[in-house]
Structure 1
């Protein structure tokens, strides 16, 4: 379930370029045929596992930068899967790693994706009503 999120007005200047590049990669993955999207997202997230883990505050700042870099030309909302993958990739572009987490909840039944730092700090888990109906992680990339 996708819910509109407010775009931050400003982000850290040094995170804008990695966030924009990562969002471009995530949107390119979205253009793949549906049968290849999730496998490609998981493979890209796993490729970052050899980097040192990022602290939680860094992952949250990168996620804010990714959300702020949404291109104006993109038609509509960018889904949580693309924002989470872009957060993982932008964190990797800065020399660190974090986890891509896919989760679900009931009731109401819904699916969501977010990034999580090695210390357990989530980035993007509060979207789509995550504060009042917590998400349960179903799959986490190493």
Structure 2
């Protein structure tokens, strides 16, 4: 389970989109996975403009901050999909990636949001973690 941030990040509209995106992600993840994928693809198409790295980082942190208020599970799968949906609500585009992250010695399944030309957003890539996507939406 990933750590939740205690720092409020982003503008008011980004925080509002983050809360709405997380709520929508929690609903989508209760459905069969094919419907979740369709919803993520629709959100990807709805985002017309790419995001800048700093704005994407603030949005991912805003979703993680909003997840603090959810009493259930809000780990990488929920927060990454929430960030993609929040970006779509703002008219922006993020990719949703499902795969694994590697570092010596643990290997773990992981989900993350990523900028198409930049890589994973809000992830520990500098500490030796390598992300390998099995599915990118």
TM-score bracket, normalised by the shorter chain, equals: 0.7 to 0.9
1:45 aligns with 2:45: no
With normalisation by structure 1, the TM-score equals: 0.79
1:116 aligns with 2:111: no
How far is 1:123 from its partner? 1.5
What is the correspondence of 1:7-22 to structure 2 with a 5 Å cutoff? 7-12=5-10, 13-22=12-21
What is the correspondence of 1:48-67 to structure 2 with a 5 Å cutoff? 48-50=44-46, 51-67=48-64
Distance 1:73 1:94, change over 3 A: closer
Give the count of matched residue pairs. Answer: 132
Unaligned runs of 5+ in 1: none
Contact 1:41-1:85 within 8 A present in 2 as well: no
Contact 1:84-1:124 within 8 A present in 2 as well: no
1:96 aligns with 2:92: yes
SS in 1 for 2:69: coil
Cα distance in 1, alignment partners of residues 27 and 20 from structure 2 = 11
Unaligned runs of 5+ in 2: none
With normalisation by structure 2, the TM-score equals: 0.82
Cα distance in 1, alignment partners of residues 54 and 136 from structure 2 = 19
Contact 2:18-2:62 within 8 A present in 1 as well: yes
RMSD of the TM alignment (CA)? Answer: 2.2
How far is 1:109 from its partner? 3.5
